Amino acid sequence: MNVLLINGSPHGKGGCTQTALEVVAETLNAEGIDTQMVHVGHKDIHGCIACGKCSELGRCVFDDEVNRVAPLFEQADGLVIGSPVYYAGMAGTMTSFLDRLFYSTHFSKRMKVGAAVVSARRAGTTATFDAMNKYFTISEMPVASSRYWNMVHGFSREDVLRDEEGVQCMRILARNMAFLIRAIAAERERGGLPEQEEITFTNFIR
């Protein structure tokens, strides 16, 4: 069992988002879940242009980090996405990355466990957290939760580590995520996944 963690901050090691994700990864490892972390926040990642080419190619037409991470996502049992807060929202590069990663990949994401982690100096965390969770809930991915919303506060790695409640939330999140992954795997083995229906599209323009 393995979880893919994606850091959407332009700051890598030593950054606030990375610090929070490291706590999650360390706790998942302690729970027997393998982890891999990918840093995309410093990459040059184009936004989706709705060209539809991914339906023909089976991958995004822009051959960048999105296509390189897609196979890791397909093989993962869980996905943790982390972003700093910029102007009360997700980092722009992370938004571009996630839009294309979820839209251009056609493998099933059903029952992969998802979790969002947000880092901010002060405000904008809940709005960012809400936006990030929408990627999971449109993909039939169960969302792992913690005791509080999955966020840490601080301006530096040291600040984040002093945010004892935030760090505790990361540990609880990881344990809950590990439990969900194991429970889903056991139920899949025992009786299979829930029945799936064909997609129904409703057009409100009449």
pLDDT tens digits, one per residue of 108-126: 999 999 999 999 999 999 9
pLDDT per residue as tens digits for the range 41-53:
999 999 999 999 9
Q: What pTM was computed for the model?
A: 0.95
pLDDT at 15 over 80: yes
* Domain coordinates in residue numbering, the chain: 2-191
pLDDT at 206: 72
Question: 19-46 in b/e burial notation, b at 16+ Cβ within 10 A?
Answer: bbbbbbbebbeebebebebbbbbebebe
**pLDDT of 201:** 87
pLDDT for 205 equals 81
pLDDT tens, residue by residue, 129-167: 999 999 999 999 999 999 999 999 999 999 999 999 999
Residue 12 has pLDDT above 80, yes or no: no
Question: Which CATH architecture is the domain 2-191 placed in?
Answer: 3-Layer(aba) Sandwich (3.40)
Which H or E run contains 17? helix 16-30
Would you call 74 exposed, middle or buried from its count of C-beta atoms within 10 A (0-12, 13-18, 19+)? middle
